Amino acid sequence: MPTETLPQTQASALETTILDLQGMHCASCVSRIERSLKKVVGVSDASVNLATNRARVVFDPALAAPPVLIAAVEKAGYGATPAPKIRPVEGKSGPDFALLNLIGAAVLTLPVLTLSMAWMMRPSWVDWILAALSALVVFGFGRQFFEGAWSALRHGGAATMDTLVALGTGISFFFSLAELLWDRHPQVYFETAATIVTLILLGRWLEARAKRRASDTIQSLIALSPKTARLVTENGGEIDVPLDSLNPGDLLRVRPGEKVAADGIVTDGASAVDEALLTGESLPVEKAAGDKVIGGTLNGSGTLVYRVTASGDQTMLASMVRLVEEAQGSKAPVQKLADTISAFFVPAVLGVALLTFLVWYFALHASLVAALTPAVAVLVIACPCALGLATPTAIMVGVGRGAGLGILIKNGEALERAHKITRIVFDKTGTLTEGRPALTDVVPLGSLDRDTVLRLAAAAERGSEHPLGQAIAAAADREGLAGTPDSFHSHAGGGVEAVVEGRRILVGTTTLLLNSKITISETAYAHITRLETEGKTAMLVAVDSTIVGVLAVADTLRPGAGAAVDRLRKMGMDVALLTGDARRVAEAVARTVGIEDVQAGVKPGEKAAAIQAWQRGGAVAMVGDGVNDAPALAQADLGVAMGRASDVAMEAADVTLLRADLNGVADAILLSRRTLKIIHQNLFWAFLFNVIGIPLAAFGLLNPMLAALAMAFSSVSVVTNSLRLKSAKLS
C-alpha cells in the first residue's frame, strides 16, 4: 500500500494512503464515500476521484488504520482495497465483462423493440414474451442498478444515480406488468424499461473506455520498465534476474536496443540513451563512465555497465508514476462547486420527479400512464455522472499530457493556479544558466601563490552543494590540488566558511566578508568589478581574516533561454531575475536573455520576501533549482523546479521540469489554461444538460428512451472533451 509520511511542515504524525474503490458511478457516490471516510476518528482529509476510482485519505495512524478506512467505505455501500505501490500494466487479454453485459442486453432488447413497434395490435401472449425478455434485461443485465440502489438505501438511505435508474426502469416494468395482469386492454412499456437499461449500459461502457484512454500516460510510463535485468556476477558472468530482486550496488549490463532496468551510475562503456519518454528530451543523451542513467530509458548502439543506485519503487520512473497518479487523483478548487451541488442533486431530482407526477396526474388530470411517463423521463435524464466527471477527467488528462512533455505537476490545485500567473521570476545559476560553471580566473592578492589560493579555497568548498563551489573543487581536482576541510559551514546566499589545515577559510561574496569584519582592499574591489563586468561571478578568498585572492567562475546560458523568455513575454507575462549573485553579473545575464527587471545580491530569506512583494501585483511563479530557492518556491503562487534541482527545491515546488528546456515553463502555463478551459466547458455543458433536459422531461417533451440515450452520452461527451487535451497545441 502506498503510504507516505507527510513533510514536517504539515503534520509529522499524519500518513496518506490510497484506496482503490469499487461500485462508484456518479458524483453522489463520491460525496457519500468522502462523508463516510471523514467520519472516521483520526481522518483529517479524504478526497475521492470518480475518474480514477481512487480515494486519497490523510489520517493519524495512532487513531485509524487502512482496514478501518476500508470498513468505512464498505459501510457506505461500496468496495475498497489497498492500492498497489505501482499500478500494474493493464493486460490486453481477458473478457470485457462490461461489453459482454451490454451485448447481452442489446440482443434481448432488439426483439422487444421490434415486436413493440411492428405489432401494435398484438395478442396477449406476445406481451408476455416482451415481459419475459425485458425482465432478463432489467433484472439480469441491469441488476447492478438495483443492487447499487439497494446498497445505498441500506447504508444510510442516500440516493445515487443507481437509485434514479432503478426507479425509472422499475416503475416502467412493474406498471406494465400490472397492466398486463389486471387490464383487458393493457398499455405496456416493457420496451422503455429494457431500452433505458441497454442505453445506460452503453453509456457506461463508452465512459469506461474513454476513462482508460485518459489514463494512457500512466500505463505508458509503467510499460517503460523492462521485466528483467542483466546482472553482472562476481566472476564476470551474466544472468537475467527479475527487477524486484535488484539492490543498490548491483552491477548491471545493458546492451544496444535494450531498456535500462534501474537507476544507476555508469561504470564502463559509452552510448547514447533515449530519455524522451521520461524527460521530454528530443535527442539521445550521451552517457559514459560517471554519468547517471534512468530506469526505463532506451539504450542506443553502445553497451553500458552501470551500478544500481535505486531500484523498484525507489526509481525515478516509479516516483514519476506515483506523482502523476497522485496528481491525477487530486481535486482542483474549481471542483468544489460541483461537489456541493452533487450532494443535493439526486434528492432534488427525486423531488422533481414526484412533483412532475403529481402535477400531471392531479392538476392536469392526465391518465396514470401519461403522468408516469414524464416522471420516469425526469428520473432517467438527470445525470450527476457528467457533473462528477467534468473536473477530474480534465485534471487526469492534463496531468498526463504534462508528464508526456516532461512536466511533472504536483496536484490539481497547482494545475489550476498556473493559469492565473502574471509574473515569472527566474533564478540565475542552474536555471537560466546551465548550472555547470567552470573556474576561469584565480587572482592571488598576497603572499600566497595561485596554487595555494586555489587549493585552500577548493578544500573549503569541498562540502558545498552549490554549483559555484563544485566548480572550484573540480578545477582543483583536475590540477591535483586536493584538500579536505576539518570543519565546514555554509552561509546560504553568501558563501562558505571552513577550517583547513588549522586555518579559517572564507570563500564568498563581499557581503559575507564584510559581515565577518574582514577589510576589502581597493585592489580586490577593482578585480571584482573587472571580472563581473565580463559576466563572471567573482568570489573573495580570505585566510585567517586576510584576503588572499579573487576567484572567478563563469556559467553558460541554457540553450534557448532567450527564446523562452521572449515567448513568456508574448504570452503577456512580466519576467524578472532574482539571484544571490552580484548585480553586474546578473545584469549581464539579464541583458542577454531580454530581462529588464533584476534583483541581485538577494539572500534566500530575502528571495521569499521579494516574491511576496511582487504578489501584491498579481500571481507569481518562481523558477529555481537550488536549496536557496526553496523558500521562494514555497512562497510563490506556483513554484517551478528544474529537473536537476535539489530534493528540497523539488519538494517545495508545484511543478518540476524534467527536461532542460525552459520552454517547459510556458508549456506548463499554457497547459493549465487549456485544462481550465476544458473544465469550464465540461461544467457548463453538464449544468446546461440538466437545466434544459429536466424541464423538457417534466413537460412531457422528452420520451424516457431518448432521455436514457441523452443521459448515457452526456458523460461520454464530458470525458471525450477532456481527451482533446492530449492533442491540444501549446502555443
Q: Which residue among 427, 625, 629, 667 is the active-site one?
A: 427
Of residues 519, 543, 540, the one with CA closest to residue 529: 540
Cβ(305)–Cβ(268) below 8 Å = yes
Distance of CA 255 to the CA centre of its chain: 33
Instruction: Please spell the DSSP secondary structure of 311-323, one letter per residue.
Output: -GGGSHHHHHHHH
Whole-angstrom distance, CA of residue 399 vs CA of residue 546: 54
Q: What is the CA radius of gyration of the chain?
A: 33
Phi/psi for 511 (5° steps) reads -60, -45
Kindly tell me the burial class for residue 609, based on how many C-beta atoms sit within 10 Å of its own C-beta (0-12, 13-18, 19 or more). middle
Q: At what angle do helices 663-698 and 384-404 cross, to 10 degrees?
A: 170
Cell 504570452 locates to: 571
Of residues 34, 730, 41, 2, the one with CA closest to residue 401: 730
Instruction: Please spell the DSSP secondary structure of 210-245, one letter per residue.
Output: HHHHHTHHHHHHHHTS-SEEEEEPTTS-EEEEEGGG
Cα angle: 699, vertex 703, 708; to 5 degrees: 115
* 427 among known catalytic residues: yes
Q: At what angle do helices 450-461 and 467-478 cross, to 10 degrees?
A: 130
Cell 396477449 locates to: 124
Cβ(166)–Cβ(146) below 8 Å = yes
Cβ(59)–Cβ(78) below 8 Å = no
C-alpha cell at 394: 480534465
Interstrand relation of 638-642 and 619-624 (parallel, antiparallel or unpaired): parallel
Whole-angstrom distance, CA of residue 443 vs CA of residue 433: 24
User: How does 314-324 read in b/e, with b if 16+ C-beta sit within 10 Å?
Assistant: ebbbbebbbbb
Kindly state the DSSP code that residue 695 receives in the 8-state scheme.
Answer: H
C-alpha cell at 461: 568548498
Cβ(640)–Cβ(425) below 8 Å = no
Contact partners, residue 10, CB within 8 Å, separation at least 6: none
Measured CA distances, 534 to 75, 400, 558, 585 (Å): 70, 43, 18, 8
Cβ(229)–Cβ(305) below 8 Å = no
Measured CA distances, 241 to 89, 228, 280 (Å): 19, 5, 29
Cβ(164)–Cβ(84) below 8 Å = no
Catalytic residues: 427
